[in-house]
Amino acid sequence: HARSRSYVSEFEVCKLESVPLDFGDYHPLKPITVTESKTKKMSRKGSTSSTSSSSSSSIMDPLSSVLDGTDPLSLFAAAADPVTTAAATDGTRKKRDRDDNSAVGSDFEPWSSKRGEILARYTTTEKLSINLYMGSEKGKATTTGSAVSEKVRTRLEELDDLEEGSQKELLNLTQQDYMNRIEELNQSLKDAWSSDQKVKALKIVIQCSKLLSDATVIQFYPSKFVLITDILDTFGKLVYERILSMCVDNRVTLPDNFSPESVNDTAKETCLNWFFKIASIRELIPRFYVEAAILKCNKFLSKTGISECLPRLTSMIRGIGDPLVAVYARAYLCRVGMEVAPQLKESLNKNFFDFLLTFKQIHGDTVQNQLVVQCVEIPLYLTLYSPAIDWILQCIAYRAPEVLLTEMMERCKKLGNNALLLNSVMSAFRAEFIATRSMDFIGMIKECDESGFPKHLLFRSLGLNLALADPPENDRLQILNEAWKVITKLKNPQDYINCAEVWVEYTCRHFTKREVNTVLADVIKHMTPDRAFEDAYPQLQSIIQKVITYIFDFSLLFSVEKFLPFLDMFQKESVRVEVCKCIMESFIKHQQESTKDPVILNALLHICKTMHDSVNALTLEDEKRMLAALINGFIKMVSFGRDFEQQLSFYVEARSMFCNLEPVLVQLIHSVNQLAMETRKVMKGNHSRKTAAFVRACVAFCFITIPSLSSIFTRLNLYLHSGQVALANQCLSQADAFFKAAVSLVPEVPKMISVDGKMRPSDAFLLEFLCNFFSTLLVVPDHPEQGVLFLVRGLLNVIQDYTWEDNSDDKVRIYTNVLHLLSAMTQEAYIYHVDKVDSNDTLYGGDSKFLAEINKLCETVIAQILDHLKTLGKEETLKRQSQLALYFFNTILAHGDLRNNKLNQLSVNLWNLAQKHGFADTKTMVKTLEYIKRRSEQPETSHFTDLALRLPLQSRT
Amino acid sequence: EVLSGVVVITSKDTVQHQGISLTMEGSVNLQLSAKSVGVFEAFYNSVKPIQIINSTIEMIKPGKLPSGKTEIPFEFPLHMKGNKVLYETYHGVFVNIQYTLRCDMRRPLLAKDLTKTCEFIVHSLSQKGKLTPSPVDFTITPETLQNVKERASLPKFLIRGHLSSTNCIITQPLTGELVVENAEAAVKSIELQLVRVETCGCAEGYARDATEIQNIQIADGDVCRGLPIPIYMVFPRLFTCPTLETTNFKVEFEVNIVVVLHDDHLITENFPLKLCRM
């Protein structure tokens, strides 16, 4: 016996009431605010449309926005480069590097950023050897011999090894083994130091630096330098810190810029001892490196120590005969110098000038013989110099006046425009400096002799500079022409693409699509023969990236004729998908307005199709999600304005293209639903025959698309949502079909569903869905050929048959909510309607037969509830029983007509049941009672007075 | 001058003793090398050590020391024996000049006497007057070499250079420059060899022995022609002392510049040095 209600007046009352009661307000996750306070009276009504529409209307997908910034994962991937990590374990050292360089200024590119690059670039597949004489320092001179050693030799060496216990010679090491060994040495250095074996530590360092005098396997030398100077840095740090700790008087540590006078004698003596010990090292190269490593310790001895030491060490390098070994020694000295005393520029310059003086050695007999033995070509050999010279020049160029740079350039010129130097000048000097003189540089590059350093590297370096700084306006085109003239003549595709990759950026930056098109065409022309592009995917990818960074107007981009043909070069699927992703990301990021440009659409559809087609059974979930997000982003950006039919046909096409990605299908259904609602809005609710047909087409689209989805809940929600849309568009039979489909789907709901990769029980979701569903059913008119409340009955049957969790009360909760629905259905005018759809209130007009049906239904439901309450009579379920009883009581209170005696008695029984076993919350009970009393003061509910009297309040005690 | 310091005695219980004394000893030990006089002679004929200093002072009279850590400060004046000169500490092969300080604790009958010895270093006071620098220029070519068997087989070379001074202050490094102007054969290494020359006088005449103290490489590999390479060597402490000439023995120093060519030709140029402390 539902009480009759006047929703309008109740709503008025509730509005006033809801101010103090509005506890839903501060819960930001719940979409409903005002209606929340009325949940006691009816099931949630407004929630249906609000949840689903929010997803379709947002322009920027939150997922895709994550992709725009620096993706932490890809950063990891970059850092996890196996070569770098192997040696980059010493994190503290890196940190120190950074700290120390901050004294120089953050604009100075620190060594730590270079080392990884060097390690990755200078590798070898040849076997390496380590020679260590840990016993006596006067071991025989290092005769490492050829690195590629025969088996016999190894055997002999092993025999030697047994005889001389102290000598360790490790042969036939792979590069990785070698690096591990060095790392082991680094560790044993630290161990020796911490166990107070300072002499052993020094010996390790000496032996390590001795390795640097060995230039066999010359390709690996730069990497070897990096590894070993790491050890030297560690050593230098250990010594410095040890002496510093000796200076601690009365627990007062020295300030950073201490003066030698404040250093105590013990510390000074120890420091001096180190220097004496090092000065007596027999061999030149270890003596140099170890002294350079502890250069900083000069601070303890005298103020001018460092400034005296640096020039001496600089000239000491002159004694190193091998020019490559010498130049790296110079680089190390510059590095230490920059770290310890960046103000001392002269020795930097002197280092460079000394290097220039010894430059002729490279073409001398000794070096040439060495190269012949090692089978290394001159151009390759010269590139080995680059890291060291780059570093030296970078140190010199740092905050150097223009005059100095000009002078340096002149000096390089004097050496016959040596390409190697030119290249280093270009990579070390400020980009602006280079850019303003680009034409000069091009001239110089052209004059360089062909034989030595590869020219394409020079153009590459120049291109890198031009990508950073702009050359003078007037020269721009000429520069491009001159450079490209050379680049296009490069025969080797690898050389070519390395150059082109760099110059594309310059082109995109300063020129229009015509030039970009030409450049792309040229790249295609060079890379297509013999499928050369297969070896150049990273470069080609970077070209695409550069192009889309500068041309993000997509209609312009796709009007670059060669862009799509360029994309065709990515024939390896994984790379092609990567490129497509980049393009789509850029599109989503930059495209502000929705578009219907056929060029863009065609091109992007093609790209999206490529991405979609890459999905197969092995694709990871995350990958799929990302692809789907990108495609969704694209779909959202497509709009044909008022041309709804074309829009729909686009969606149809998209559906056929992207059928393997469920999120895309979901998006399409939402989009089509939105389209239908859009149509309705345009027609202001009155569909013409044409629009009605169109809307039905939309609905049909949804109806046939939904079953292809696999997730039950997505399907359920979409059925409901589409049903609501159909209803709103007066497609009653279609809406019925949706609802029927939803009803018949409910039994298939699994017990557990996966949420964010975890398995969760599904009942909460089901409960929410069913409540949602029921509140929609209120306005769904009965089908003329089916019985009264056909859908509600159907749904109830399904709920009845559904296998619920054994110890859950969800079924009863749903039944209680059904009571809310049924009571709402008996009202003369329903609380809400769909515009232009007659609901049951109008259809039946409060027909008594209809009401009787509802009452019958109510009784059945109440009987079910009471049955369930009885089963909860056991000890362990009493609390649940009490809660449910109170919940049910509240329902009756809100919706029932308590003037009915039976109902009145039932409510009193429920009240008692709730309190019976002392599980009721006293506060709630008191509040409920107060509420009843307050209601009894109102005229139409005066019968509450009686009720209140019949409800005893059980005290806790 | 005065030698000063503390004697530290640590014990768990009180210590009964019969006096603690300090003894200072200094002597020159000469050893004849087997090479110059023969094995037996060397064994039997080692020259008697020359005592430079020998004195004892009593620190504490017999008594008891409390348990725990006891520190007894002392000051010990350096008094030469007769008209002997206080030479600098020097550890060589055939000549050793060593100074020690010995602390003795005499103890009652049943316990052993306790002794602790410790070496202390004597540096002579800096000599007065100015050191006159004596720079040396040198040129080495096949023609300047002595002691060559087949001059014709020698590769051509020209090495120039100079030493800033052969009169060196012991605390300052030896400096100079060396230029390989040209060399037919590749240079393998250039080294500075510091050599001490010890001469011991005895009844049968004298024995002169040269031994290497340290060897410092100043060039490694085929160095750039025409580019000056620095000569720089720090004199090692303990193994060097100011050049010493006495009636009984001499300690002198020399430096050799050794150029090793790739065909293993060894070219050596010798320069006597005079070391002093300033």
Q: Which residues of chain A have pLDDT under 70?
A: 1-110, 120-121, 123-173, 249-257, 415-418, 449-452, 954-957
Structural domain span for residue B257: 136-276
Q: Do B113 and B145 fall within a single domain?
A: no
Residues A889, A893, A899, CA angle at the centre, nearest 5°? 120
Task: Flag whether B127 is in a domain.
Answer: no
**Cross-chain residue pair A320–B221, CB shorter than 8 Å:** yes
Cα–Cα distance measured from residue A738 to residue B17, given in angstroms and rounded to the nearest whole number: 112
Position B129 in a domain: no
List the beta bridge partners of residue B180: B159
Q: How many angstroms separate the CA of residue A289 from the nearest CA in chain B?
A: 13
Note the pLDDT of residue A95: 41
Chain A 224-283, residues with CB within 8 Å of chain B CB atoms: 275-276, 279-280, 282-283
How high is the pLDDT of residue B38? 59
Looking at B119, B152, B183, the residue that finishes a domain is B119
For residues B104-131, give the mean pLDDT: 79
How high is the ipTM of this complex?
0.81
Please, which residues bridge with residue B193 across strands?
Answer: B215, B256
Query: Choosing among B190, B193, B222, B234, which should be mutated to test the A contact, i.e. which has the most A CBs within 10 A?
Result: B222
In the stretch 107-126 of chain A, residues with CB closer than 8 A to chain B read: none
For residue A322, give how far its alpha carbon lies from the nearest alpha carbon of chain B (Å): 6
pLDDT at position B36: 57
B108 with B147, same domain? no
Report how many domains make up chain B: 2
Both B157 and B231 in one domain: the answer is yes
CA distance A610 to A630: 12
Instruction: Tell me which residue in B215, B216, B227 faces A318 most closely, judged by beta carbons.
Output: B227
Residue B128, in any domain of the structure: no
Chain centre distance of CA A737: 43
Q: Based on the domain organization, do B272 and B193 belong to the same domain?
A: yes
Cα(A637)–Cα(A831) distance, integer angstroms: 38
Distance, CA of B47 to CA of B27 (rounded, Å): 12
Cα of B237 to nearest chain A Cα, Å:
8
Please report where in the chains the tokens 């370096």 appear, as a residue: A461
Q: Are residues B86 and B157 in the same domain?
A: no
In chain B, which among 178-197 make CB contacts under 8 A with chain A? 186-187, 190
Whether residues B111 and B212 share a domain: the answer is no
Higher pLDDT, A412 or B254: B254
Measured CA to CA, the distance from residue B219 to residue B230 in angstroms comes to 9
- Domain termination residue (choose one: B89, B119, B149): B119
B238 touches A at CB < 8 Å: no
* Residue B106 and residue B151 in one domain: no
Q: Which of B173, B215, B220 sits opposite A319 (nearest CB)?
A: B220
The pTM of this model reads 0.60
Q: Are residues B244 and B170 in the same domain?
A: yes
Q: What is the pLDDT of residue A132?
A: 54
Same-domain check for residues B243 and B168: yes
Rounded to an integer, what distance in angstroms lies between the CA atom of residue A657 and that of residue A604? 12
Has residue B110 got a pLDDT over 50?
Answer: yes
| Sign, Cα dihedral of B271, B272, B277, B278 | negative
Residue B125 in any domain: the answer is no
3-state helix, strand, coil in chain B (%, to 5): 5, 55, 40
Domain assignment present for residue B24? The answer is yes
- Is A873 an 8 Å CB contact of chain B? no
Q: Do A319 and B232 touch (CB under 8 A)?
A: no
Residues 6+ apart with CB under 8 A from A3: A823, A895, A896, A897, A898, A899
CB atoms within 10 A of CB A235: 25
Q: Which residues of A touch B222 (CB under 8 A)?
A: 321-322, 361, 364, 366
Reading the block at residue A839, the tokens are 């609901």
Say whether both B144 and B217 belong to one domain.
Answer: yes
Question: In terms of C-beta distances under 8 Å and separation of at least 24 residues, what long-range contacts does A469-473 make, across chains too?
Answer: A469/A430, A469/A431, A469/A432, A469/A434, A469/A435, A469/A436, A470/A435, A470/A509, A470/A510, A471/A435, A471/A436, A471/A438, A471/A439, A472/A436
For A272, name the nearest residue in chain B, comparing CA atoms only.
B237
**B102 and B221 belong to one structural domain:** no
Q: How many CB pairs under 8 A join A and B?
A: 80
The amino acid at residue A155 is R
**What's at A229, amino acid-wise?**
T
- Quick check: A363 contacting B, CB < 8 Å? no
Burial A885-924 (b: 16+ CB within 10 A, else e): bbbbbbbbbbbbbbeeeebbebbbebbebbbeeeebeeee
Position B88 in a domain: yes
What's B172's domain CATH number? Answer: 2.60.40.640
Q: Is B105 within 8 Å of chain A by CB?
A: no
Looking at the fold, whether B148 and B54 belong to one and the same domain comes out as no
Q: Are A285 and B220 in contact (CB < 8 Å)? A: yes
Q: Do the Cβ atoms of B236 and A280 come within 8 Å? A: yes
Partners of residue A360 in chain B, C-beta under 8 Å: 224
More confident call, B263 vs B8: B8
Is A234:A188 a contact under the CB 8 Å cutoff?
no
Q: Is position B73 within any domain?
A: yes
Chain A residues touching residue B180 (CB < 8 angstroms): none
Contact A361 B224 (CB under 8 A): yes
Say which residues have a Cβ less than 8 Å from residue A182's Cβ, sequence separation at least 6.
A87, A208, A227, A228, A230, A231
For B164-220, what is each residue's pLDDT tens digit?
A: 888 888 888 888 888 888 888 888 888 989 998 888 766 556 677 888 888 888 888
Q: Of B68, B89, B119, at which residue does a domain stop?
A: B119
Residue B219, domain member (yes or no)? yes
How far out from the chain centre does Cα A600 lie? 27
